[in-house]
Structure 1
Amino acid sequence: MRKIGTLFIATFFSLVCVIVAVAASADEIANEDAAAFQEIITSQIKAFQVDNADAAFAFATPKLQEIFRSPENFISMVKQGYAPVYRPKSFEFGPAELKNGQPTQIVTIVGPKGTLWAALYTFEQQSNGNWRISGVYLVKRPGAAT
């Protein structure tokens, strides 16, 4: 009887370890997806820097495109509310991770006035497998850039 109990406990413990390992790996962002996020963000920022509203708008999800209705409306909103993204002095990628279940790329941005920002870019995978930006959340960080 004792061997059966020990075997049961060992099997149960092994099963729990496998479940935890699978759950942990499900929360990770694949390297190729993180690379895609960084390429998309870089391309959109480059489009903003030359005021290419059409190119910048193309990186947004269909839902965002529906909300803003035109590239001109979209870039106007970015100019007014997202100056650090619109005209960054510099930016550096941090980790890509799931935040509240959404794939998120963290970016440190030095804004046009030298202010440090954390930009959290959220992404949505489209039916064709491509990623698009579903939102950007800016958080001012203490200190100034050097």
Structure 2
Amino acid sequence: MLRRFACLILSMLLLSAASWAGDPVSNARAVISGQINAFRSDDAEAAYAFASPGIRSTFRTEFQFLEMVRKTYPPVYRADSYAFGRSKLVGGGELVFQEVLISGSQGKDWTAIYELRLMDDGAYKVNGVRLRRNTSSTGI
């Protein structure tokens, strides 16, 4: 019974993944959500895994990376809540710019523009974030 249930869940997950595997925006948003959740739980290894090779070459360890995010991007590091805004694809999805509206501590609102690059293995990685104090979507 347990094996049957596990197979059912696995099948549902695979079908779900297959349904959006070709959608660059959905994939990029999943990466961003994964990294934000890793920041929230101080999981340096998981957060670092979402970073592009270029970012990883600048910050050689996951702890250096986490410390940089903590100091430079506190609204991203400790987002109270966030919502996705507009997206822009470049080159058919090789590059995705994704607007993320963030509510941070003390009720301050921010707009983060994530740049994600498609890697050779088909995964998206965060290649940079621009952060500005803002309360409304202005587009990319």
The verdict on a shared fold, with TM-score over 0.5 as the criterion, is yes
1:85 maps to 2:53 = no
Q: Which of 103, 111, 132 matches 2:125? A: 132
| Structure 1 stretches of at least 4 aligned residues deviating more than 4 Å after TM superposition | none
Displacement after TM superposition at 1:63 (Å): 1.0
Partner Cα separation in structure 2 for residue 115 and residue 98 of structure 1 = 28
Partner Cα separation in structure 2 for residue 48 and residue 89 of structure 1 = 11
What amino acid sits opposite 1:72 in the alignment?
F
Bigger relative CO (Cα 8 Å, ≥ 6 apart): 2
Change (3 A) 1:80 1:133: same
What amino acid sits opposite 1:80 in the alignment?
K
Q: TM-score, normalised by structure 1?
A: 0.72
Give the percent of matched residue pairs that are identical in Structure 1 and Structure 2.
35
Equivalent pair of 1:106/1:121 in contact (CA under 8 Å): yes
Equivalent residue number for residue 9 of structure 1: none
Partner Cα separation in structure 2 for residue 117 and residue 133 of structure 1 = 18
Equivalent residue number for residue 32 of structure 1: 23
TM-superposition CA deviations, 1:26-83 (whole Å, max 9, x none): xxxxx71100111111111110011000000000001100100000000000110111
Unaligned 5+ segments in structure 1 are: 1-30
Equivalent residue number for residue 55 of structure 2: 64
1:74 maps to 2:61 = no
How many equivalent pairs are there? 113
Q: How does 1:106-145 map to 2 (within 5 A)?
A: 106-142=99-135
